[in-house]
Chain A
Amino acid sequence: MVKLDEIQKRLMAEVADLHKVPEGAYNLRVNGESAGRQSSENIEIVSKTDVSGLEIHIKPGTKNESVHIPVVLTQSGMKETVYNDFFIGEDSDVLIVAGCGIDNCGEQDSEHDGIHRFFVGKNARIKYVEKHYGSGTGRGKRILNPGTEVYQEEGSTVEMEMVQIKGVDDTVRTTTAELKEGAKLTVRERLMTHGSQNAVSTYVISLNGNGSSADVVSRSVARDDSYQKFDARIIGNAPSHGHTECDSIIMDRGRILAVPGLEANDLDAELVHEAAIGKIAGDQLIKLMTLGLSEQEAEEQIINGFLR
């Protein structure tokens, strides 16, 4: 990969599964600068002129192509806010892989705030994958505050996968979405916090169009002294379907607050919220122990499966 050191390469692999330069369009951002960029015939990546960030234009009808825009920070004390806008043409079908890895070995906090806006054209379909990862032994914190705004035109489909399993000290994730007629949004969130980490995830989803639907499912594990808040609000302004689910395991002294929020402004809006928080079920541990695993190994298997 283009002039990356070993740590940076490792972070790229963690957050975007990148072991070499990706195929298709990409922009690799390292310590605030572009370390490589490529547009393709159908996907154009240009820098913003007013603020730090990118504009990604995907031509109508683009199919089976991908865009990778991973970010890595290895310089302690670095703080940045980046604005990326995605313009997704009608009838296209693309994979977008973002993600941020921070390695902080220093004393100062490192922070990346990525604000992503998606303008999804009629009948377009995107899959968006965002992974967060932190490493490094420094006392400086690794902070990530992603903001995601999604604007879906008629008949569009957005599938989001958000994963944060390790090493991020502080996160405030805010996701808002507005859906027009027949648009569909699904979100799968996987979160694990350790130590004294803090993670807040807030969703505000407006189902504005007839037949629009949203499904937000969060699976999370809070260990040690960490704290999580899951706040999902779905607003049904039209005949629509909304479902949110927060399924969590607490361990040690971990704490979780799940806030249900459903607002129906239309008689035919059907909204459901489910939340379950608890420690690992004793019978699950016992079962795996009868198969020969130690209690700790059994816990690991249960957590790995849960966050799969």
Chain B
Amino acid sequence: MLELKNVSYNVDEDGGEIEIIRNVDLEIGSGKLVVVTGPNGGGKSTLAKLIAGIIKPTEGRIYFNGEDITDAGITERAQKGIAFAFQQPVRFKGIRVYDLIRIASGKRINTAEACTYLSKVGLCARDYINREINSSLSGGELKRIEIATVLARNAVLSVFDEPEAGIDLWSFTNLVDVFRKIRESSEERSILIISHQERILETADEIVVLRDGGIGAFGRREDILPGLIGTSSAVSACSRLASEGRI
């Protein structure tokens, strides 16, 4: 489905070059749920942006269903079936939740259909469908709307960058179910989730640990997860909430 071959991403800074992604080889199979984890600044979001086409690799190639998409733009990749939920969702002026879900679905959908996506992320659809996606939304609301729009795309490959961030425990449980259902519903659709959450790591078929821009470990969940438990790459929801003083 998706294959990264020797992908590197460098940026120029103060005359020197810094390597943000280094020689990454990665294959995500059809119907797989892959979780990418690793320390802050490890390069996870950068990897997601490379996959969505928001930035282009300085070296290496990216293949999607056998086709070389390294030079394809954002729109083209989206149309080929790659969806991406941002770590930090974007706010707009005047664009409503319904508008974004309609655009994401790529067809004329009615409000009731649009609402089903909001319900999946635990938002009471009636209250949100006509809200503007502006600064009046809270961080958690915005994040859940972002996830809902990506669900509405029904994409072949959906990439979620830290979907759990800012989301309460109840919605979080629901969310894990949503990912599991997508995973079970189709042999063709794959999901790539960037996450530090144990509960999400537990649902993975495969786990990638990204460290200093390179792949630290990659393999089946059963093989990788035991080595991660207790490290900062696998935080359980309860300990996270406790440390934030929320429970």
Interface set of A (CB-CB < 8 Å, partner B): 219, 247, 281, 283-284, 286-295, 301-302, 304-308
Instruction: List chain B residues, Cβ under 8 A from A287.
Output: 86, 89-90
Chain B residue with Cβ nearest A249: B93
Q: How far is the CA of A294 from the CA of B77 in the complex (A)?
A: 11
Given A293-B75, A294-B75, A295-B75, decide whether A288 and B103 contact each other with a Cβ distance below 8 A: yes
Q: How far is the CA of A302 from the CA of B78 in the complex (A)?
A: 18
Q: How far is the CA of A288 from the CA of B104 in the complex (A)?
A: 8
- How would residues 117 to 138 of chain B score, 1 for a CB under 8 Å from any chain A CB and 0 otherwise? 0000000000000001000000
Given contact pairs A290-B54, A291-B153, A301-B95, enumerate 15 new A-B contacts (beta carbons under 8 Å): A219-B93, A286-B74, A289-B78, A290-B52, A290-B74, A290-B83, A291-B100, A291-B106, A292-B79, A293-B103, A302-B95, A304-B94, A305-B92, A305-B93, A305-B99
State the main secondary structure of chain A at its contact with B. helix
Instruction: List chain A residues, Cβ under 8 A from B96.
Output: 305
Instruction: Flag whether B195 is at the interface (Cβ < 8 A).
Output: no
25 residue pairs of the A-B complex, CB under 8 angstroms, read A283-B90, A286-B74, A287-B89, A289-B73, A290-B84, A291-B83, A291-B100, A291-B104, A291-B106, A292-B75, A292-B78, A292-B79, A292-B104, A292-B106, A292-B153, A293-B103, A294-B75, A295-B75, A302-B95, A304-B94, A305-B99, A305-B132, A306-B93, A307-B94, A308-B94
Chain A residue with Cβ nearest B149: A291
Q: Which of A247, A283, A291 contacts B93 (CB 8 A)?
A: A247
Q: How far is the CA of A289 from the CA of B72 in the complex (A)?
A: 12
Instruction: List chain A residues, Cβ under 8 A from B93.
Output: 219, 247, 305-306
Chain A residue with Cβ nearest B88: A283
Instruction: List chain A residues, Cβ under 8 A from B99.
Output: 301, 305
Instruction: List chain A residues, Cβ under 8 A from B106.
Output: 291-292
**Nearest Cβ in chain B — how far from A278, in angstroms?**
12
Instruction: List chain A residues, Cβ under 8 A from B52.
Output: 290
